[in-house]
Amino acid sequence: MSVVLVDAGGTNIGSVRYALLRLGVDAALTADAATIRAADKVILPGVGAAGPGMARLRELGLVELMRSLTQPVLGVCLGMQLLCAYSEEGDTECLGIIPATVHRFAEAPGLRVPHMGWNRLVAKKSHPLLTGLGDDDQAYFVHSYAVPVGDWSVATSDYGEVFSAVIARDNFHGMQFHPERSAAVGAKLLQNFLAL
Catalytically active residues, by annotation? 77, 178, 180
* DSSP 3-state percent helix, strand, coil across the chain (nearest 5): 30, 35, 40
Instruction: Give the phi and the psi of residue 110 in degrees, each rounded to 5.
Output: 80, -5
Cα(163)–Cα(58) distance, integer angstroms:
28
Half-sphere exposure of 172 toward its Cβ, with a 13 Å CA cutoff? 20
Q: Which residues contact 32 (CB under 8 A, 6 or more apart)?
A: none
CA dihedral 173, 174, 180, 181 (to 10 degrees): -150
Which amino acid, residue 7?
Answer: D
CA dihedral 104, 85, 155, 146 (to 10 degrees): -10
- b/e for 73-97, b at 16 or more Cβ within 10 A? bbbbbbbbbbbbebbebeebebbeb
Instruction: Give the phi and the psi of residue 22 in degrees, each rounded to 5.
Output: -65, -25
